[in-house]
């Protein structure tokens, strides 16, 4: 039986790689829907190659070869066995909730969904018996290592350290957009690449891991591992550590998530060779240089709407940085200022989450005007 799948964000970095995986496993999948945003040219090429029934683009009239459907309509379609949520930012949240309420399993790349509403999404998935399978390489690694969560003492999340690992704080303060986007290990969308340079991405992943694996923040450790070979690890209560290793490629976690619990040769291109990996280094993060990581832990520990505030301020500031409106360190200053000023909403509903999100974005934009 073919697994019926829809991909939200098919034209993005994760979406394109997911289609490369599916192309290799074409006899295993049937594509129900593909969605893009503004890149309708690529979306139409994908439609003509993979023949989905439905498609979404910001301009519906530009779609050729598939019937238009909104993200919500796609996620309500019970023909789907699984939906890969690979849009970037807050737009992932509502469709994910719709899919869960329709009993459809989720391969989750969009980390903002759990950062904004993990306390709602994870219990809902449990209620509807829906699997949330992580796509992020670190969470995919942990998912592969864990047999019995009650025996796990600690999650160890690795971070490559990004392009500024060996640079000074001064270098970072003057970093250009081009330098910030030059990630040494991973080719990803622009938003997540900037987050990787500030280590906010690692902070968002800590919050994501807290929700996915129901783990207290004191038992989630981040370690810098520049080679990106060990994708993450867990320590069991008896001191045994199990890690997942592999060459840095998103094809592997994407394939794992959409084929779980099966495994196939699929897109595997190169075999890993221990003897060719000269060394594996690990070090503690520089908490002064990468203050974003501390802010994310603080927001996670505070709970309620604090992580919504963190995410909204960060996302808005990253866009402003990419447009040349603010400097790289202003991203972190914006997040810190917004978090200091924010009145926490405890146990926010989805509507309250979007209210906080809108309010923080508007206030962040006001702050950028003062920074000029
Ligand atoms: N890239 C990675 O290696 C990686 C790894 C782990 C987790 N993630 C997570 O996966 C998610 C996607 O990351 P990415 O790097 O693939 O991002 P990306 O390359 O920027 O792709 C984003 C996708 O979302 C679509 N999109 C953007 N705005 C939209 C809107 N308003 N309505 C509908 N669709 C919209 C884009 O469409 P258009 O391009 O057509 O506008 C594109 O298909 C993020 O949450 C990220 O944190 C990514």
Domains observed in the chain: 3-134 (3.40.50.720), 136-300 (no CATH), 303-372 (1.10.1740.10)
pLDDT for 187: 84
Residues 306, 341: Cα–Cα separation, whole Å: 11
Gap from CA of 76 to ligand 1 centroid (Å): 21
Q: What tokens does 118 get?
A: 């993990």
pLDDT, average across residues 204-212: 98
pLDDT value at residue 186: 82
Per-residue pLDDT tens for 69-88?
999 999 999 999 999 999 99
- Mean model confidence pLDDT for the chain: 96
Query: Distance between CA atoms of 34 and 52, rounded to whole angstroms?
Result: 7
Per-residue pLDDT tens over the stretch 15-43: 999 999 999 999 999 999 999 999 999 99
pLDDT of 269 reads: 66
pLDDT attached to residue 177: 96
- Please write the tens of the pLDDT for every residue from 267-283: 876 778 888 888 999 99
Task: Decide if pLDDT at 153 tops 70.
Answer: yes
Please tell me the residue having the least CA distance from ligand 1 atom 20. 189
Residue 157 pLDDT greater than 90, yes or no: yes
Q: Which residue, by CA, sits nearest to atom 3 of ligand 1?
A: 188
pLDDT the model gives residue 348: 98
- 313-349 pLDDT, tens digit per residue, is 999 999 999 999 999 999 999 999 999 999 999 999 9
Does residue 215's CB lie within 6 angstroms of at least one atom of ligand 1? no
* pLDDT at 264 (0 to 100): 94
Q: How far is the CA of 89 from the centre of ligand 1 (A)?
A: 7
Q: Summarize pLDDT for 50-66 with one digit per residue, the tens.
A: 999 999 999 999 999 99
User: Rounded distance, CA 157 to CA 134, Å?
Assistant: 14
More confident residue, 184 or 72: 72
> 221-250 b/e with 16+ CB inside 10 Å = b?
ebbbbbbbbbbbbbbbeeeeebbbebbebb
CB atoms within 10 A of CB 193: 21
For residue 70, the model assigns a pLDDT of: 98
86 lines ligand 1 (CB under 6 A): yes
Structural tokens at position 79: 């023909």
Answer yes or no: is the C-beta of 112 below 6 A from any ligand 1 atom: yes
Does the C-beta of 110 come closer than 6 Å to ligand 1?
yes
Q: Say yes or no to pLDDT of 289 above 90.
A: yes
Tell me the pLDDT band of 222, cut-offs 50, 70 and 90. very high
pLDDT score of 315: 96
Mean pLDDT of 246-274: 91
User: Using an 8 Å Cβ cutoff, are 317 and 310 in contact?
Assistant: no
In degrees, to the nearest 5, what angle opens at C-alpha 86 toward C-alphas 84 and 92?
Answer: 100
Test site for ligand 1: of 189, 195, 199, most ligand atoms within 8 A of the Cβ: 189
Q: What is the pLDDT of residue 184?
A: 85
Question: What per-residue confidence (pLDDT) applies to 273?
Answer: 86
């Amino acid at each position: 039986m073919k697994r019926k799948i829809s991909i939200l964000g098919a034209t993005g970095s994760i979406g394109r790689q997911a289609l490369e995986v599916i192309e290799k496993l074409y006899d295993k999948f049937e594509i129900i829907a593909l969605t893009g945003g503004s890149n309708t040219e690529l979306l139409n090429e994908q439609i003509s190659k993979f023949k989905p029934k439905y498609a979404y683009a910001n301009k519906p009239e530009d779609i050729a070869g598939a019937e238009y459907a909104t993200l919500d309509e796609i996620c309500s379609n019970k023909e789907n066995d699984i939906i890969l949520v690979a849009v970037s930012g807050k737009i992932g949240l509502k469709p994910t909730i719709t899919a869960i309420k329709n009993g459809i399993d989720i391969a989750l790349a969009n980390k903002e969904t759990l950062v904004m509403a993990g306390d709602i999404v994870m219990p809902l998935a449990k209620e509807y018996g829906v699997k949330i399978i992580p796509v992020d390489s670190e969470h995919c690694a942990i998912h592969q290592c864990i047999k019995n969560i009650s025996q796990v003492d600690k999650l160890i999340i690795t971070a490559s350290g990004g392009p500024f690992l060996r640079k000074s704080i001064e270098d970072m303060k003057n970093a250009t957009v081009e330098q910030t986007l030059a990630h040494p290990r991973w080719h990803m969308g622009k938003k997540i690449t900037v987050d990787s340079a500030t280590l906010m991405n690692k902070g968002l992943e800590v919050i994501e891991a807290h929700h996915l694996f129901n783990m207290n923040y004191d038992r989630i450790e981040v370690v810098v591992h520049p080679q990106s070979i060990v994708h993450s690890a867990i320590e069991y209560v008896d001191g045994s550590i199990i890690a997942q290793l592999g060459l840095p490629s998103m094809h592997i976690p994407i394939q794992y998530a959409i084929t779980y619990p099966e495994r196939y040769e699929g897109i595997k291109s190169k075999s890993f060779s221990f003897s060719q990996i000269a060394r594996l280094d690990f070090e503690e993060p520089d908490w002064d240089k990468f203050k974003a990581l501390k802010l994310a832990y603080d927001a996670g520990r505070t709970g309620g709407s604090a992580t919504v505030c963190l995410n909204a301020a960060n996302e808005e500031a990253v866009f402003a940085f990419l447009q040349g409106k603010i400097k790289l360190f202003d991203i972190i200053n914006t997040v810190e200022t917004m978090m200091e000023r924010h009145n926490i909403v405890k146990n926010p509903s989805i509507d309250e989450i979007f209210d906080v999100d809108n309010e923080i974005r508007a206030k962040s934009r006001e702050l950028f005007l003062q920074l000029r």
